[in-house]
Amino acid sequence: MPVPEVLSGVLAWAVPAVIVFGATAIAVVVAVWAIRRARRSPRARAAADNLRARAGAALVTLDDAVDELDLEVGLSGALYGGGAPASLRRARLTAQHVRDASFEEYRQIAERDATPDEIRRVSTRIERRSAEALATISAARAEHSGWVHANVSAAAQIAAAQQRLAALRATMGDPAALVAELSSRFAEDEWTDASRAARAAVDHADEAARHLASAARTAEDPTRTALVELAEAERALRRAEVEARALEETHRLATQAAQAVTGEIAAARTALRQAFATRDQLEPADAARLGSELRALEAELTSLEADAAQRPTRTIDRVARLRDRLDLALGDARTAQQRLRGARTALPGTLAAARNAVAHAEASLGHVRASADARSRLISAQRELAAARQMQDPVDALDAARRAMRDAEDAKALADYDRLAGR
């Protein structure tokens, strides 16, 4: 057969096939593109965000249940000497693990540009795991409640709670004396939180005493149950303990800041002098830009020094932020040795500022039923602060402490928004 005829036959078969397969490939590509576009559309994003909101609500419910469970586990050990079923402790460990892992997943899909599919998948998993953990908690609490009814009298529970209240009052001492000490040394904005915590601790302790007295009267009547009043007393006791710790933490932070503030300012001035020396080694244009920022930082440091003794925690916080700005201004102009030396001197003050920021965030979240976003930010801040304390490399530790500050500030802002929104 002549070659042209063969070629003609091949073409006659191949061309239609190529057209068919090419059209199919184009259709497949278009279909895939359309599916992906639909999955990333505003409508898909809105649906995914709704699922994420549901997952956040489930996480908040689980977090509150874990807090209640912590109280019950503590009470079980204090009241019943470890004789109660271990199911509560096992349920708490399981729920804590689920909660912590879920908050981390929730934070990740919130912070990065996750696709609607990923948000949907993770949110569904969080909601399912939260529901399973809550079911485990409910079963454990039911088992524990049955054991308590069968083995412990209301009178014994009331007596044990009264002992805890007496121990709490002894530990608290005179909260007003701590506030008076702070108010005699520092400006009002340094001890306002301490004053509020002191009043709240005393009020909650008095509330617990009233509920316990009512429970004791109810327990004398065999036809009535004292468990409701006893439960309210325990909640008030726990709130009093939280406020007492907040008071102690505020007092500790203020007194420690007062001891450290002079050294932090001196270290910042030393860092500025070294930065001016680094500036002298730069090209004229870079030196001019850096010099302008350094003079601004120097002026700010001088203004902070004016009332540092009256506002030590605020000053420590501002100096830590000033050191952060100084690092950004210097950029790559420093040697590795200079960065290491600067991190070592900046770390103590930044850690103190981070602890203060976390304490403020914890207080804000403690007075509102905060959203999952606020809680996840607080957990991240607590984790970063713990990591900063353990790191051996001062540069890495400084970075972690600064991340803790930012996350704590975000958590407080979100909690404040939740409060204003009436949650």
Q: What is the 3-state secondary structure (H, E, C) of 195-263?
A: HHHHHHHHHHHHHHHHHHHHHHHHHCCCCCCCHHHHHHHHHHHHHHHHHHHHHHHHHHHHHHHHHHHHH
Mean pLDDT of 368-387: 91
Predicted confidence (pLDDT) at residue 210 exceeds the cutoff of 90 = yes
- In whole angstroms, give the CA distance from residue 84 to residue 144: 7
pLDDT computed for residue 47 by the predictor: 84
Burial 298-333 (b: 16+ CB within 10 A, else e): bebbeebbeebeebbbbbbbbbbbbbbebbebbeee
DSSP assignment, residue 393?
Answer: S
∠ CA 222-225-228, nearest 5°, is 165
Q: In this predicted structure, which of 4-8, 74-78, 135-139, 248-252 has the lowest mean pLDDT?
A: 4-8
pLDDT in tens, 48-69: 888 888 988 999 999 988 888 8
Share of the chain above pLDDT 70, in %: 85
Mean pLDDT of 331-355: 89
Predicted confidence (pLDDT) at residue 27 exceeds the cutoff of 60 = no
Mean pLDDT of 309-336: 91
Tokens of 212: 């316990």
pLDDT computed for residue 258 by the predictor: 95
Mean pLDDT of 27-32: 53
pLDDT computed for residue 67 by the predictor: 83
pLDDT computed for residue 19 by the predictor: 64
pLDDT confidence tier of residue 253, bands split at 50, 70 and 90: very high
- In whole angstroms, give the CA distance from residue 165 to residue 161: 6
Closest CA to 94 of 69, 125, 61, 64: 69
CB 255 within 8 A of CB 178: no
pLDDT in tens, 136-151: 998 888 887 777 777 7
- In whole angstroms, give the CA distance from residue 317 to residue 323: 10
- The residues spanned by each domain of the chain are 42-151, 154-250, 260-420
Chain-centre distance for alpha carbon 84: 32
Predicted confidence (pLDDT) at residue 263 exceeds the cutoff of 70 = yes
Comparing 273 with 11, the larger pLDDT belongs to 273
Most confident of 85-94, 106-115, 155-164, 276-285: 276-285
Q: In this predicted structure, which of 217-226, 291-300, 335-344 has the lowest mean pLDDT?
A: 217-226
Predicted confidence (pLDDT) at residue 205 exceeds the cutoff of 70 = yes
pLDDT computed for residue 308 by the predictor: 94
pLDDT computed for residue 26 by the predictor: 63
CB 279 within 8 A of CB 311: no
DSSP assignment, residue 282?
Answer: S
- In whole angstroms, give the CA distance from residue 75 to residue 141: 13
pLDDT computed for residue 3 by the predictor: 47
Mean pLDDT of 12-33: 57
pLDDT in tens, 1-21: 454 555 555 555 555 655 655
pLDDT confidence tier of residue 28, bands split at 50, 70 and 90: low
CB 401 within 8 A of CB 385: yes
pLDDT computed for residue 315 by the predictor: 96
Comparing 281 with 311, the larger pLDDT belongs to 311
